[in-house]
Amino acid sequence: MPKKKVVVIGSGFAGLSAATNLAHKGYQVTLLEKNAQFGGRARVMESQGFRFDMGPSWYWMPDVFEAYFAQFGKKVSDYYHLHRLDPGYTVFFGKDDVMTVPAQMPEIEQMFEYYEPGSAKKLRSFMTQAGEKYQIGMRDLVYKPNRSVLEYASVSLLRNMLKMDVFQSMRSHVYAHFKEPRLRKLMEFPVLFLGATPQNTPALYSLMNYADLSLGTWYPMGGMGEIVKAFVALAEEKGVELIPNADYSLLSVRVLMPHVFIRRKRPTTPMSWLLRAITTTSSKRFCPPRIDSTALLTGKTEPWHLRVFCFILD
Ligand SMILES: Cc1cc2nc3c(=O)[nH]c(=O)nc-3n(C[C@H](O)[C@H](O)[C@H](O)COP(=O)(O)OP(=O)(O)OC[C@H]3O[C@@H](n4cnc5c(N)ncnc54)[C@H](O)[C@@H]3O)c2cc1C
C-alpha cells in the first residue's frame, strides 16, 4: 500500500519533531519552511566568521531531549556534546550587584545562606517539593496529548494533584519560603519561560526551579544551532523531505484544509458533496505538483478546528 502523505508546516522544534515522529510511524512526510534556514526561533546567524544563536540560550531539562532521541533508538550524544555549566549562570541585579549561581546544591545552599541566613533549610524543603512536582508533572501531565479531559481521570493523578499546588500562586509559594528580595527574584524568574507572571502562575511550576537548580543549565558545544542540526539530521534519517524557502500558510488554511476534512469525513448532503468537489478542484489547482493535496495536514493530525469545520459542512 502506498504511504500516506503528510505535509508539516514550519521547521522549529515542534515541526521537526512532528515530522520525524510521523515519518517514524510510516507516513511520507514533507516539511515546508518559509525561511532559508531550518530551526525557527532557534536558528543561527553567521556573519564575518562569527556565529550567533538567534533565540534560545538556556538548555534545561536535558531528560526531555534524551527522551526525544530515545524514541528513535538514539542518544543526544549521537548528535552533539552537552556540557553542564558551572556556574550555571549569573544574574545582574545592578552594576555592582551580581549573583553567580553555582551548579551543585551544597554551593547553592551556601549562596542562599549568604543572602538570607537560615534559608538553606527552606531551600531544601522547597526543592524536595519541586522535585516531586517535576516527577509527577513529567510522568503524568507533560507527555499527554491533551485530546480529552479523560486522559487525566486517574485516581493516582487526582491524588497527586493535591501535592501539585495548583491553587496557590508561584509568588505566594516563593514568598512563604524566602524573604530576601534577590532570592525571591531568582526563584520567581523561571516562570518567564512560560510567558507568565508569578502572580498568575500556579505554584505547580516550582517544578521549573527543580529544572533550573537541580537538573542544571547545560550547553551544547558549538551552540544551540547544534540541536537544530541534530533534529534535522534525525528527520532526514527518517526520510522527511525538508524544503526551505516555502511559505504555504495561505494554501493550508484557505484551500487545502477544507479539502482534508472533506476527504476524511464522507459527505452526506448535496451541499457537502458540492463543497468537496469545489475544494478538491481548487486545492489541486493551487497546490504545488510535488505535494499530494489530498494528504495535506498541519503538524498535529487532528486539530480541533478541522473537526469544527467537519461539523459545519457535514
Ligand atoms: C529570543 C528568544 C530566546 C529564547 N530563549 C529560550 C531559552 O533560553 N530556552 C528555551 O528552552 N527556549 C527559549 N526560547 C523559546 C524557544 O526558542 C521556542 O519555544 C522554540 O524554538 C519554539 O519552537 P516552535 O517549533 O514551537 O516554533 P518556531 O521556532 O517559531 O517555529 C515555527 C517555524 O514555522 C515557520 N513558519 C511559520 N509560518 C510558516 C508558513 N506559512 N510556511 C512555512 N513555514 C512557516 C517559521 O519560519 C519557523 O521556522 C527563546 C525564544 C526566543 C525568541
User: Residues near 57 by Cβ (< 8 Å), separated by ≥ 6?
Assistant: 224
> Which pLDDT does position 85 carry in this prediction?
98
> Which pLDDT does position 248 carry in this prediction?
67
pLDDT for 283 beyond 80: no
> Which pLDDT does position 151 carry in this prediction?
83
pLDDT for 246 beyond 60: yes
Could you tell me the three cell numbers for 119? 534559608
Give me the phi and psi of 21, to 5 degrees please.
Answer: -60, -45
Q: How far is the CA of 150 from the centre of ligand 1 (A)?
A: 30
> Which pLDDT does position 164 carry in this prediction?
82
Q: What whole-number percentage of the chain has pLDDT above 90?
A: 65
Q: Where are the domains of the chain?
A: 5-81+221-243, 92-216, 249-313
Q: Are 47 and 75 in contact (CB under 8 A)?
A: no
Q: How far is the CA of 224 from the centre of ligand 1 (A)?
A: 12
Give the separation between CA 126 and CA 262, rounded to whole angstroms. Answer: 52
> Which pLDDT does position 301 carry in this prediction?
34
pLDDT for 260 beyond 60: no
> Which pLDDT does position 143 carry in this prediction?
85
Q: How confident is the model at residue 277 (pLDDT cuts 50, 70, 90)?
A: low
Atom of ligand 1 nearest to the CA of 249: 41
Closest residue by Cα to atom 27, ligand 1, is 12
Atom of ligand 1 nearest to the CA of 14: 25
Q: Are 203 and 114 in contact (CB under 8 A)?
A: no
Residues with CB under 6 A from ligand 1: 9-15, 32-35, 40-42, 55-58, 246-249
Give the separation between CA 165 and CA 133, rounded to whole angstroms. Answer: 9
Q: How far is the CA of 154 from the centre of ligand 1 (A)?
A: 33
> Which pLDDT does position 271 carry in this prediction?
59
Which secondary-structure segment (H or E) carries 279? helix 270-286
Q: What whole-number percentage of the chain has pLDDT above 70?
A: 79
Atom of ligand 1 nearest to the CA of 40: 49
Atom of ligand 1 nearest to the CA of 39: 49
Topology (CATH level 3) of domain 5-81+221-243: FAD/NAD(P)-binding domain (3.50.50)
Q: How far is the CA of 263 from the centre of ligand 1 (A)?
A: 31
- The whole-chain average pLDDT of the chain stands at 83
Q: What does pTM read for this prediction?
A: 0.81
> Which pLDDT does position 121 carry in this prediction?
97
Q: How far is the CA of 10 from the centre of ligand 1 (A)?
A: 9
> Which pLDDT does position 167 carry in this prediction?
84
Atom of ligand 1 nearest to the CA of 250: 41
Torsion of CA 236, 42, 72, 264, to 10 degrees: -70
pLDDT tens sequence across 108-129: 999 999 999 999 999 999 999 9
- What average pLDDT does this structure show over 160-188? 92
Ligand 1: which of 41, 65, 256 to mutate, most ligand atoms within 8 Å of CB? 41
Q: How far is the CA of 82 from the centre of ligand 1 (A)?
A: 21
Q: Is the pLDDT higher at 92 or at 147? A: 92
Residue 9, SS3 per DSSP? strand
> Which pLDDT does position 230 carry in this prediction?
98
Q: How far is the CA of 225 from the centre of ligand 1 (A)?
A: 12
